Amino acid sequence: MAIEKRARFASQWLPYALLAPQILVTIVFFFLPAGQAVYQSVHIQDAFGGNLQFVGLDNFSDLFRDPLYLASFRVTAIFSLAVAGLGLAISLVLAVFADRVIRGAGLYKTLLIWPYAVAPAIAGVVWMFMFNPTLGIVAYWLRQRGVDWNYLLNDGQALLLVIFAAVWKQVSYNFLFFLAGLQSIPKSLIEAAAIDGAGPVRRFATIVFPLLSPTTFFLLVVNIVYAFFDTFGIIDAATSGGPGQATEILVYKVFKDGFKALDLGGSAAQSVILMIIVITLTVLQFRYVERKVQY
Amino acid sequence: MSSGSNRSRSLGRLPLLARMLLLPRTWTRTREGMIENRPGLTILSHVVLMLGVAIIAFPVYLTFIASTHTVQEVLAAPMSLAPGGHLVENYLAALQHGAGESTAGVGRMMVNSLVSALVIAVGKIAISLLSAFAIVYFRFPLRGFFFWMIFLTLMLPVEVRILPTYKVVSDLGMLDTYAGLTVPLIASAKATFLFRQFFLTIPEELAEAARIDGAGPLRFLRDVVIPLSRTNIAALFVILFIYGWNQYLWPLLVTTQEDMYTTVIGIKRMTLGGDAAVEWHLVMATAVLAMLPPALVVILMQKWFVKGLVETEK
């Protein structure tokens, strides 16, 4: 809120009327439900769906004693780190080369950015089709090479499958931001280093990559948020959290416990934990924006 | 002479890519300065990029190919990688009757997706534009409070408040309606910030002049602010249309009747019921239909897409 306008209009009611639709939606569909989740997370409901009883933090301590919940935390950690790490590495390589080529650069860009438009659930279906043990063509190739591929039975393979699908969808986003970051590095710096005899690898390691670090940090946070919250469709369509709980990330577990198992208190406590995670990640993201403004 | 032939013989043992990297480096003098040419590295760049494009495109190519075969041809592992001859009949069947467990036609689902995506995109833009206008051009009690309230919605994605939000919508009788599919999603902190940021760059003299001419705030909004915001609105529209079209979790919760399914939901229902029962050729045709509108929007409106993506993340 640094810059303010001097010239303003005066009205007792108009600003409220202009804000009303947004605030109404915000209260009814965001704050009421979020408040409800916090309220339910410290209560339990008796078996007849009647009285709510205040139980303090019992729902939370139950969760952290539940091996299934801890397993879901572990799966989420592996999944999001793999998606962020792999996604950033692949798109950085593509962006570095796309930044180099002069002929065809625009065409490559167009051909690399469209997976952003594919819905996560569709990405899940498409990758599941490719790797399906009975009819998938990639599964067939893998078996020809002696790999015993069946993601319906093998935990690690199922996790790999959803990681691949999630990375595939996110590469275009990372690519665009890396390319923009690379293009904003002054060419004179690179030329000076080239004339001094630094080769392409050395120039990348000592000049380009350090100058790109704000973009990399920003993308790291965005990718972790993406892996946590925007991959529900991929998981539901490709593996439905299975086999067992092998691909059940936290968001999937909230949904399953709330809607299928109808465990209100436990699901609400999980929601509150997720809120704390989002708040942490959002604060991280905004600290990055502050730093960038100072440059 | 002999050292030259030694050199080329030792090069011959290196892999092709490594040999390309060793092509001689040259310099070109241009007005801006010296430009280094490394033809080897340029070839390598093209090889890597083409490989990247091929890997990125392969899943979608395979989807398209499967949508042109009969179900027997798809199930005959390995499926042929050349297009089959059943494109038209598969797409017509999917559009009219759907597939598998889902008997609603994809045509109906596409309409639902389109209506939801348009209402979400236009709704988000409209309410964010109005809120940002109020926050930038007026001083009033609780202004900061409202601003923070909108900001906090960033931290409450639907995934973290699934059950209670569902309950609110069901209490309001909004299940299986377009309102239920769209209204709970149309608050937008990011769009509000983007408009606020942009309004702060509009010269103050314009608002001053409008006031002196006796134009009220709504007239100023309509005749000056909205026309100036055209490119921002277009960029946001592209991003929000894709966001709306690709929704999954929310429509999954609030739709129970098949004629209210969106395409993305419908496709998941079609894959239920075991490997043998799934009509994969129709599922893949539906997948292509579900990808087409947002992909076209990205490709045809690429400039606005990139602008929207970069600016909403600031």
Longest CA pairwise span in chain A (Å): 79
Chain A closest-CA separation from residue B21 CA (Å): 11
Q: Which of B207, B220, B246, B209 lies closest to B114 in space, CA to CA? A: B246
Higher model confidence: residue A50 or residue B6? A50
Whether B86 is in a domain gets the answer: no
Same domain flag for B18 and B148: no
Q: Kindly tell me if the per-residue pLDDT of A1 is higher than 50.
A: no
Residue B77 has its nearest CB partner, among A135, A229, A289, at A135
A14 in contact with chain B, both atoms CB, cutoff 8 A? yes
Q: Which CATH superfamily is domain A66-294 in?
A: MetI-like (1.10.3720.10)
Same domain flag for B278 and B177: yes
CA B68, chain centre distance (Å) = 25
Ranges of each domain in chain A: 14-54, 66-294
| A-chain residue closest to B196, CA distance | A1
Same domain flag for B36 and B113: no
pLDDT in tens, A263-286: 778 888 998 999 899 888 888 877
Is-contact B177 B250, C-beta < 8 A? no
Higher model confidence: residue A182 or residue B309? A182
Q: What is the pLDDT of residue A291?
A: 53
Q: What is the pLDDT of residue B81?
A: 86
- Window A:130-149, CB contacts with B under 8 Å: 130, 132, 134-137, 140-141
Chain A closest-CA separation from residue B55 CA (Å): 9
Q: Kindly tell me if the per-residue pLDDT of A11 is higher than 60.
A: yes
Residues of chain B with Cβ-Cβ distance to A8 below 8 Å are 137-139, 207
Please answer yes or no on whether B163 and A237 come within 8 Å at the CB atom.
no
Whether B286 is in a domain gets the answer: yes
Please answer yes or no on whether B156 and A278 come within 8 Å at the CB atom.
yes
Residue A229 has its nearest CB partner, among B159, B204, B284, at B159
The structure tokens 């067992």 sit at: A244
How far is it, in rounded angstroms, from Cα B53 to Cα A94?
9
- At residue B25's C-alpha, the angle toward residues B20 and B31, to 5°, is 135
Domain boundary among B53, B73, B88: B53
Is-contact B163 B254, C-beta < 8 A? no
Strand partners, B28: B35
Six-digit token pair at B67? 């949508």
Q: Which of A30, A177, A260 to mutate to test the interface with B (most CBs of B within 10 A)?
A: A30
Please answer yes or no on whether B163 and A125 come within 8 Å at the CB atom.
no
Neighbours of A80 (CB within 10 A): 22
Chain A closest-CA separation from residue B115 CA (Å): 17
Whether B202 is in a domain gets the answer: yes
Backbone angles phi, psi at A287, to 5 degrees: -65, -35
Same domain flag for B126 and B229: yes
Whether B237 is in a domain gets the answer: yes
Neighbouring residues of B131: CB distance < 8 A, sequence distance ≥ 6: A18, A19, A21, A22, A23, B146, B150, B192, B195
Same domain flag for B131 and B279: yes
The boundaries of the domain holding residue B24 are 1-53
Query: What distances in angstroms separate CA A259 from CA A195, A263, B55, B172, B228, one per listed residue?
Result: 64, 8, 37, 19, 46
Along the 314 residues of chain B, how does pLDDT read in single tens digits? Answer: 444 444 444 555 666 666 666 666 676 666 555 556 777 788 888 999 999 999 999 999 999 999 999 888 888 878 888 888 888 888 988 888 776 655 678 889 999 999 999 999 999 999 999 999 999 999 889 999 999 899 888 888 887 788 889 989 999 999 999 999 999 999 888 899 999 989 988 988 888 888 888 888 999 999 999 999 999 999 999 999 999 999 999 999 999 888 899 999 988 888 876 666 788 889 999 999 999 999 999 888 888 888 888 877 65
Residue B168 has its nearest CB partner, among A33, A111, A121, at A33
Weakest-pLDDT range from A94-98, A165-169, A266-270: A266-270
| B-chain residue closest to A20, CA distance | B131
The identity of residue A21, as a single letter, is P
Counting the structural domains of chain B, the total is: 2
β-strand B34-37 against A43-45: which pairing, if any? unpaired
Please answer yes or no on whether B81 and A191 come within 8 Å at the CB atom.
no
The structure tokens 């919508």 sit at: B169
Mean pLDDT of chain A: 87
Please answer yes or no on whether B159 and A98 come within 8 Å at the CB atom.
no
Please answer yes or no on whether A37 and B41 come within 8 Å at the CB atom.
no
How far is it, in rounded angstroms, from Cα A117 to Cα A224?
19
Q: Average pLDDT, stretch A38-45?
A: 85
Q: Which of B45, B253, B275 to mutate to test the interface with A (most CBs of A within 10 A)?
A: B45
pLDDT in tens, A125-150: 999 999 988 888 999 999 899 888 88
Same domain flag for B278 and B180: yes
How much of chain A exceeds pLDDT 90, in percent? Answer: 42
pLDDT in tens, B60-76: 999 999 999 988 888 88
Same domain flag for B3 and B114: no
How far is it, in rounded angstroms, from Cα B274 to Cα B46?
43
Q: What is the pLDDT of residue B24?
A: 65
pLDDT in tens, A188-245: 888 888 888 888 888 888 889 998 988 898 899 889 989 998 999 999 999 988 888 8
What CATH number does the domain containing B305 carry? 1.10.3720.10
